[in-house]
Structure formats: C-alpha cells, structure tokens
Amino acid sequence: MDRARRDDPAALDALLAAYWRPLVRYARGFVESRDAAEDVVQESFIAVWDRRLEWRAGSLAGLLYRATRNRALNERRRERVRREWRIVAPVDEAPSPWQTLQDRELGECLERAIEALPPRRREIFLLARVDGLVYREIAEVLGISAQTVANQMSAALAELRRALSAAVGRSAEAD
C-alpha cells in the first residue's frame, strides 16, 4: 500500500497478481456468473485504488475481501431483481442416465443446504471450503474472532450433514 500511495502502477499490478483469482472465487460464491464476479472484483480494486490515500492500518487482504463482499452482495440483490422480472421459456433437457440424475439431485441438495444456512454461517463456510482461507483470515475479513469462525463452521458442517443424510436416505428409499 505504501507503493500504491506513491501512485506506483506496479503496486496495482502486484495486488492484482496476488488477489485477483482468490477474490473472483470468493465473489463467485455470491453472484450467478464468473463475469459478474470479475466485474465485482474489478470494482473492488478500483475502489481500493481510489481510496488508497485514506487507508491507514489493518490487513490489505481484509480490506479487499470486505470491499468484494459488499459489492458482491449488492450485485446479488440486483441479480435477484432482474431474475424476478425476467420471463424465460424453459429449456428442454435431454434425459440423463440414472446416476447422473442422482448426482445432480445430490448436488442440488447440497446447494440448497448451503443456501439455507444463515448468511454469516454460509459466508464463513464458503470462505473456508471454497476460497481456502484459514479461520484467522476469515476472522480478519469479517471482523470477528477466530473462535466465532470455528463455532460457525462446526454448526455449518453439522447442518449440512443432517441435510445430506436426509437426502441420501430419501434417495435410498426410492431405489
């Protein structure tokens, strides 16, 4: 950030090289498409760069993740509004083999179970399992304690196990 404050363009290049991919993966957990995630991250970098002289302390990674999170949540709200007002004709899909169907159903069940988690718990789960952040990093990004992160992860995993075991049980009964 010291280099960025001196308007060193190489500083921005270094930030992009270090954080672009992880932030796009993180944003992808909130928005529908990779393009939208990349737009969110680009806007986050622009905002951080524009305010580089105001930044005083704290983690640069935390700042970037927080900026990305806020923009991604805003974009997700915009996507929801666009989806609610869009009328789309259903697309016919070719029949899938039985196993592909079961895999798809299990994947959908997992997605629903993750989506059903309380927002903060879901975000912690995605940061850990998708973005590969450790509890300390998640705590820094979200401004909470590492113990709170651990407690939320434990609760998230328990909820997901219950949801998936119920789904597997229903699938086995159908066989």
Q: What is the pLDDT of residue 98?
A: 61
Q: Which of 14-18, 29-33, 46-50, 81-85 has the lowest mean pLDDT?
A: 81-85
Distance CA 60, CA 134 (A): 16
Burial (0-12, 13-18, 19+ Cβ within 10 Å), 148: middle
Q: Report CA-CA distances (Å) from 16 to 11, 12, 21.
A: 9, 6, 8
Per residue in 110-125, pLDDT (tens digit) is 888 899 999 999 999 9
Structure tokens, 30: 């909130």
Question: Which of 8-12, 44-48, 155-159 has the highest average model confidence (pLDDT)?
Answer: 155-159
Q: What is the pLDDT of residue 153?
A: 92
Position with higher pLDDT, 65 vs 84: 65
Indicate the average pLDDT of the chain.
82
Q: What is the pLDDT of residue 111?
A: 86
Q: What is the pLDDT of residue 89?
A: 42
Confidence of residue 44 (pLDDT cuts 50, 70, 90): very high
CB atoms inside a 10 Å sphere around CB 134:
12
Closest CA to 25 of 65, 56, 53: 65
pTM of the complete model beyond 0.85: no
Confidence of residue 88 (pLDDT cuts 50, 70, 90): very low
Q: What is the pLDDT of residue 95?
A: 44
Distance CA 161, CA 46 (A): 40
Q: What is the pLDDT of residue 102?
A: 65
Are the C-beta atoms of residues 57 and 9 closer than 8 Å to each other?
no
Using the predicted structure, report yes or no on whether residue 146 has a pLDDT greater than 80. yes
Structure tokens, 13: 């290049």
> DSSP labels for 42-96?
HHHHHHHHHTTTT--SS-HHHHHHHHHHHHHHHHHHHHHHHHHH---PPPP----
